[in-house]
Amino acid sequence: MHTSVCRALGLVVACHISAFPQSMHAQQSAAKVRASTAPTAPPFSTKSGEWPSHTGDTRGSRYAPLEQITAANFGTLEVAWRFKTDALGPRPEFKLEGTPLMVGGMLFATAGTRRAVVALDATTGELLWVHSENEGERGAASPRPLSGRGLAYWTDGKQSRIIYITPGYRLVALDARTGARVLSFGDSGAVDLKQNMDLPILPDLVTGEIGYQGAPLVARNVVVVGAAFREGGAPKSYRNNKGDIRGFDVRTGKRLWTFHTIPRKGEPGYDTWLQRSADTAGNTGVWTQITADEELGLVYLPIESPTGDYYGGHRPGNNLYGESLVCLDLQTGVKKWHYQLVHHPIWDFDLAAAPILADITVDGRAIKSVAVPTKQGILYVFDRVSGKPVWPINEQPVEAGDVPGEWYAPTQPIPTKPKPFARNGVMLDDIIDYTPALKEAGLAIASKFKLGPVFTPPIVSKTGGPLATLSQGPTNGGANWAGGSYDPDSHMLYISASNYSPSPLGLVAPAAGTSDMAWVRGIAPPPAGSPRFGGLLVQGLPLLKPPYGTISAINLDNGEFVWQVPHGETPDVVRNHEALKGMTIPRTGQPGYVGTLVTKTLVIAGDPEVTTVAPRPRGAMLRAYDKTSGKEVGAVPMPAPQSGSPLTYTVNGRQYVVVAVSGGPYSGEYIAFRLPAGSTK
Amino acid sequence: MAIVVGAPTYVLAAGAHDVQAADTPARTTWDSVFTAEQAARGQAAYGRTCSRCHQPALGGADQSPPLTGGGFLSSWNGQTLGDLHDRVRSSMPTDDPGIYSRQDVADVIAYVLSFNGYPSGTSELPVDDGALRAIVWASSKP
């Protein structure tokens, strides 16, 4: 029946298991799971062993006060179950980034190249139901394809729903027990997010560029939906669809409010777009996770760059609310306050990580704060009620560039505390120096670039050099979507950093007919007969010094670091390099997106790269650190890198840790770990 | 602040290399398995399609992994170029996978190898699956 309804709507499919003969068994299994596990009554929380929201709660915490898995036994963890996602779409996926939810013994996740939703028995991984929508050309045209990062759970105690966003940008509500669409929500269970906009999505609903791969936020009875676009280094046009953020009624799917991330004429902030460029600029959405304080009724939007990640000459001015943290009223969408972290964004410093809500005590004063980890390795901390910085943030003069047509902000806001948790510029002192010869080779490569601290602007790439500004952060640096964690008991914030991702920010004129932008990201071709730019490796080694990846613990009561450790095995290419034979190299860590999980005693995170370290097989390690000291206390192998942030939960008295792995030749898989039977009290 | 330095350290052993000796076919990516001309073709193809997501300098972006550097090299170290060819051909581009010919994919792989510092030679990277599976990606020079 459900399938026929979908066909009537023009959708090709919707296969959820209950449409097939075996559905009876599947539904009985689901019911059995729910009946056998406690608690099953809301409000669900990580305190009771559930994981009911993408980050555990709606506050970005990624924290659960569970304590069965400890420093003493982490190394004995064994695989409880594995769930391979290959068949959930027309081809396998190699980039599984989801964090599932767990409520009432059922685990809910997005998976596969069609972004199916699956419900699994949380103790065995057995498939209970699957819901998948084939969106055809519209799905294929998505700027944010593949399995996405997760979904949301809602219940009023009588009914329970799974809410997710398809690659084709539809907001879908499913019955959490069966996977069937909730027909009373939106239009037969779905809201077309390309409609319900204040401006039409161009050029049409099928190919119009907008989407979202994050988990929608459900707070109170409001669904808050992000908006995302294609990579913005070389957009086809400086005109694009706008990334308005919207709230919907979780019961009906009715749109409650819209926030214009690019102010319309007559709205505050419009004047920060000179030459009326707010009328033409687009993007400026939120592609990462949105968080909310349900008690205060406030929602926090981490907003990305406007159109043109590295060139803003078509949008002179500071460009509110580009790269700003914006606080809205959850129920109405009315802006409470904002703080722009980067004026006139030209570094692609999107606010990429979920804002973390932290109740802290600074100099004896209780503060409800919000902390924003960023690509530029800076943690910005605000009073989340007033929007005022917890520690002073100074407007500091920054270098003006000389790209023709560009408009430069003369200052940028730099916090006085905490100090940066990641390298965020590239200076001569950052260049590799394992040996004098490697240093010399590294300096030779660096000489082709303009170096400088954070906020050194992009340059026009020149054949004779410099080729680009060599920056650290815009591409894969600092903190990104995988986000940080917060311990509400100790007031410690934990954040991983990708500390090695040098990004050449060069600009070139676009190839004829490819864009109406004056400049797009690129590298000038070499002189005739000369070798082309060959990357940023020094005899295969990273151009910059280690550590390449870290995890930091920052006390938010005083803004001080408590510990920082390199995270991740030393890469094979370093351990086995000919030029480093006989040298003793401390663990370097690895660059990459690594989400952390905090429990009662541990910080848990997986390696972002595979290594081959005898005697274990090729793979990556899931590691645990003592959260008070940073000392590694245990590790277990995984077949591939951590590619989604882990979660933890308890069912039937046993604690589980589940993590998504994938990458390179290894297709997506969720793996659940738990202690061996009989080892728990 | 305490910078924990108690993490394991490694004394690098002479003769160690990444590829497992027992499984090592005759050729690795260090054996000049593509030509400069092929890499140039691959660069042009990369610029037409791949660079919109993976960026001109192969550094990747928020949604697209880098095709150079430690993570990329680690992912493919010890894997065959047949594995890499399959992966690219079957999953790229994400909005229309499968549109590239075997030759296109081989050319782009040649460019990626070149960009990452592997030597070119006088024979092109083949498109035949069996031949590609006889070449192993080795992140460190054996």
Asked whether the beta carbons of residue A665 and residue B75 sit closer than 8 angstroms, the reply is: yes
Assign B17 a pLDDT band (cuts: 50, 70, 90).
very low
How remote is the C-alpha of B90 from its chain's centroid?
Answer: 16
Are residues A622 and A642 in contact, defined by beta-carbon separation less than 8 angstroms?
yes
The pLDDT tens digits for A134-157 are: 999 999 999 999 999 999 999 999
Q: Is the pLDDT of residue B14 over 60?
A: no
Residue A350: the pLDDT is 97
Segment A337-347 shows an average pLDDT of 98
User: For A147, which residue in chain B has the nearest alpha carbon?
Assistant: B94
The pLDDT tens digits for A187-219 are: 999 999 999 899 999 999 999 999 999 999 999
Using a CB–CB cutoff of 8 Å, tell me whether A337 touches chain B: no
Residue recorded with tokens 């990357």? A535
Closest CA to A591 of A624, A630, A639, A546: A546
Using CA atoms, how far apart are residues B52 and A424, in angstroms rounded to an integer?
24
Assign A618 a pLDDT band (cuts: 50, 70, 90).
very high
Residue type, A130: V
Residue A2: the pLDDT is 35
Segment A606-621 shows an average pLDDT of 93
Asked whether the beta carbons of residue B14 and residue A582 sit closer than 8 angstroms, the reply is: yes
Query: Which residues 202-241 in chain A show a CB within 8 A of chain B?
Result: 213, 230-231, 233-234
User: For A591, which of B16, B71, B77 is closest by C-beta distance?
Assistant: B71
Residue A203: the pLDDT is 96
Query: Which residues 99-128 in chain B show a CB within 8 A of chain A?
Result: 114-117
Assign A41 a pLDDT band (cuts: 50, 70, 90).
low
The answer for residues whose C-beta is within 8 angstroms of residue A587's C-beta and 6 or more apart is: A547, A566, A568, A569, A570, B7, B8, B9, B10
User: For B140, which of A94, A542, A578 is closest by C-beta distance?
Assistant: A578
Asked whether the beta carbons of residue A583 and residue B57 sit closer than 8 angstroms, the reply is: no
Lowest mean pLDDT among A56-60, A361-365, A677-681: A677-681
Using a CB–CB cutoff of 8 Å, tell me whether B4 touches chain A: yes
Q: Is the pLDDT of residue B92 over 50?
A: yes
For residue B76, the chain A residues in CB contact (below 8 A) are 664-665
Using CA atoms, how far apart are residues A511 and A164, in angstroms rounded to an integer?
38
Are residues A301 and A259 in contact, defined by beta-carbon separation less than 8 angstroms?
yes
Task: Report DSSP letters for B60-105, one per residue.
Answer: --SSS--SSSHHHHHHHTT-BHHHHHHHHHHH-STTSTT-S-HHHH
Assign A12 a pLDDT band (cuts: 50, 70, 90).
very low
Segment A56-71 shows an average pLDDT of 98
Assign A679 a pLDDT band (cuts: 50, 70, 90).
confident
Q: Is the pLDDT of residue A15 over 50?
A: no
CA-to-CA dists, residue A320 to A267, A325, B74, angstroms = 11, 10, 40
Segment B10-34 shows an average pLDDT of 60
- Residue in A115, A231, A496 to test binding to B, most B beta-carbons within 10 Å: A231
Better-predicted residue by pLDDT, A490 or B22: A490
Assign A529 a pLDDT band (cuts: 50, 70, 90).
low
Closest CA to A574 of A481, A465, A435, A675: A435
Q: Is the pLDDT of residue B1 over 60?
A: no
For residue A641, the chain B residues in CB contact (below 8 A) are 71, 75
Q: Is the pLDDT of residue B137 over 50?
A: yes
Segment A614-620 shows an average pLDDT of 91
Total CB pairs under 8 A between chain A and B: 210
Residue B53: the pLDDT is 87
Segment B77-102 shows an average pLDDT of 91
The distance in angstroms from the start CA to the end CA of chain B is: 41
Q: Is the pLDDT of residue A641 over 60?
A: yes
Residue A35: the pLDDT is 40
Residue A319: the pLDDT is 98
Closest CA to A266 of A255, A254, A279: A279
Using a CB–CB cutoff of 8 Å, tell me whether B5 touches chain A: yes
Q: Is the pLDDT of residue A39 over 80?
A: no
User: For B61, which of A233, A533, A630 is closest by C-beta distance?
Assistant: A233
Are residues A601 and A622 in contact, defined by beta-carbon separation less than 8 angstroms?
no
User: For B70, which of A92, A542, A585 is closest by C-beta distance?
Assistant: A542
The pLDDT tens digits for A558-584 are: 999 999 999 999 999 899 899 999 999
Using a CB–CB cutoff of 8 Å, tell me whether A543 touches chain B: no
Using a CB–CB cutoff of 8 Å, tell me whether B90 touches chain A: yes
Asked whether the beta carbons of residue A581 and residue B84 sit closer than 8 angstroms, the reply is: no
Identify any residues that bridge with A130 across adjacent strands, giving them in sequence order.
A118
Assign A65 a pLDDT band (cuts: 50, 70, 90).
very high
> Mean pLDDT, chain A, as a whole number?
92
Asked whether the beta carbons of residue B4 and residue A523 sit closer than 8 angstroms, the reply is: no
Using CA atoms, how far apart are residues B80 and B133, in angstroms rounded to an integer?
5
Using CA atoms, how far apart are residues A130 and A134, in angstroms rounded to an integer?
13
Using a CB–CB cutoff of 8 Å, tell me whether A466 touches chain B: no
Segment A298-322 shows an average pLDDT of 98
Tell me the whole-structure pTM to 2 decimals.
0.92
User: For A507, which residue in chain B has the nearest alpha carbon?
Assistant: B56
**Does residue A245 come out as left (phi exceeding 0), alpha (psi in the -120 to 50 range) or beta?**
beta
Residue type, A229: F
Better-predicted residue by pLDDT, A455 or B77: A455
Q: Is the pLDDT of residue A236 over 60?
A: yes
Asked whether the beta carbons of residue A610 and residue B75 sit closer than 8 angstroms, the reply is: yes
Neighbours of A16 (CB within 10 A): 26
CA distance to partner chain A, nearest, from residue B20 (Å): 9
Lowest mean pLDDT among A104-108, A476-480, B81-85: A476-480
User: For B66, which residue in chain A has the nearest alpha carbon?
Assistant: A476
What's the longest Cα–Cα distance across chain A? 73
Neighbours of A94 (CB within 10 A): 22
Are residues A244 and A204 in contact, defined by beta-carbon separation less than 8 angstroms?
no
Segment A498-506 shows an average pLDDT of 92
Using a CB–CB cutoff of 8 Å, tell me whether B130 touches chain A: no
Using CA atoms, how far apart are residues A317 and A262, in angstroms rounded to an integer?
12
Better-predicted residue by pLDDT, B59 or A283: A283
Segment A295-305 shows an average pLDDT of 98
Using a CB–CB cutoff of 8 Å, tell me whether A132 touches chain B: no
For residue B92, the chain A residues in CB contact (below 8 A) are none
Query: Which residues 25-84 in chain B show a CB within 8 A of chain A?
Result: 43, 51-53, 55-66, 68-71, 73-79, 83-84
Using a CB–CB cutoff of 8 Å, tell me whether B142 touches chain A: no
- Residue in B58, B62, B77, B141 to test binding to A, most A beta-carbons within 10 Å: B62
Better-predicted residue by pLDDT, B23 or A397: A397
Using CA atoms, how far apart are residues A432 and B120, in angstroms rounded to an integer?
26
Using CA atoms, how far apart are residues A511 and A30, in angstroms rounded to an integer?
55
Assign A681 a pLDDT band (cuts: 50, 70, 90).
low
CA distance to partner chain B, nearest, from residue A549 (Å): 11
For residue B22, the chain A residues in CB contact (below 8 A) are none
Segment A471-498 shows an average pLDDT of 94
Better-predicted residue by pLDDT, A635 or A43: A635
Q: Is the pLDDT of residue B3 over 60?
A: no
pLDDT over 90, % of chain A: 87
CA distance to partner chain A, nearest, from residue B127 (Å): 18
Are residues A350 and A325 in contact, defined by beta-carbon separation less than 8 angstroms?
no
Beta strands A537-538 and A654-663 are unpaired
